[in-house]
Amino acid sequence: MKKILAAATLLLAMTACGGSRTKNLPLEGTSWKLSRMETIPASAIEAEADAFTLEFNAADTMVAGRTNCNRFFGKYALSGQSLKFENLGMTRMACPDMEYENAFVQMLNGVDGYEIKGSELKLLDGQKRVVAEFRVAEPASK
């Protein structure tokens, strides 16, 4: 009985020490999908798997992604937890619900920083308020 109790205690201790730690994903090289933004309803965010996405390429400090309508690209500057988007360009198709695209692009222009916890990315404004939340984008199915 003592051996069983000791084994159970050891197993519990091992689980408590290392079982709940989640490694933070890197900003660069990870595909991010918008999960929450105050001015865009969840139904618009989830309407398409590749809508409202971001991908950062460290090799050339370029960001690319898609709103609910158009694709965009541009430079970004990264220093510690500071993040700025620069010279964003995009395609210009006219689509329904353009107000969501406009809100998303305006949000990107106001980003001043970020934080990552596990597989969640939060973009922050100059007052360090969360302006948008992202999660890891699901890989495209073939």
| pLDDT values of the chain reduced to their tens digit, one per residue, 142 residues | 544 444 444 444 444 444 445 799 999 999 999 999 999 999 999 999 999 999 999 999 999 999 999 999 999 999 999 999 999 999 999 999 999 999 999 999 999 999 999 999 999 999 999 999 999 997 655 4
* Strand residue runs (E) in 2-128: 31-36, 53-57, 62-66, 71-79, 82-90, 113-117, 120-124
Instruction: State the pTM of this model.
Output: 0.81
Fold assignment, 23-136? Lipocalin (2.40.128)
